[in-house]
Amino acid sequence: MTQIIVLPHVELCPEGSVIEAEPGKSICTSLLEHGIEIEHACEQSCACTTCHVIVREGFDSLPEAEETEEDLLDMAWGLEPQSRLSCQALVGETPLVIEIPRYTINMAREGKH
């Protein structure tokens, strides 16, 4: 198992969390399995940016992002060089420290009214 430290998020885990994730699973799945209800509007199909995370430590251990993920990340709120879509970033053997951004862009919920 691989340790993921989740930095405090005001709504999803105010105290922060330390979870043990199974290598080969996505960060998103790992968070959900441990009760951290990260938004994932497209049901983890790499079609939105709601599961955007910033990998503060361990970023280089993740498999490289594919072009589709890179294109979507360009639209993410609060994009940083260590940003990934958590549904696409697979946990390896290296411990990770992640931050869930305060806001997401969810067109289904926040789009035109």
Q: Domain ranges for the chain, please list them.
A: 2-110
Checking if the pLDDT of 60 tops 50, the result is yes
Query: Rounded mean pLDDT of 75-95?
Result: 96
Name the average pLDDT for the chain: 92
> Which pLDDT value is given to residue 104?
74
User: What's the rounded Cα separation, in Å, for the pair 43 and 61?
Assistant: 24
Domain 2-110 falls in which CATH fold? Answer: Ubiquitin-like (UB roll) (3.10.20)
Total Cβ atoms within 10 A of residue 31: 25
> Which pLDDT value is given to residue 112?
39
Model pLDDT for residues 14-30, shown as the tens digit of each residue: 999 999 999 999 999 99
Model pLDDT for residues 86-112, shown as the tens digit of each residue: 999 999 999 999 999 987 766 444 443
The string over 52-67, giving b where at least 16 C-beta atoms fall within 10 Å of a residue's C-beta and e elsewhere, is bbbbeebbeebeebee
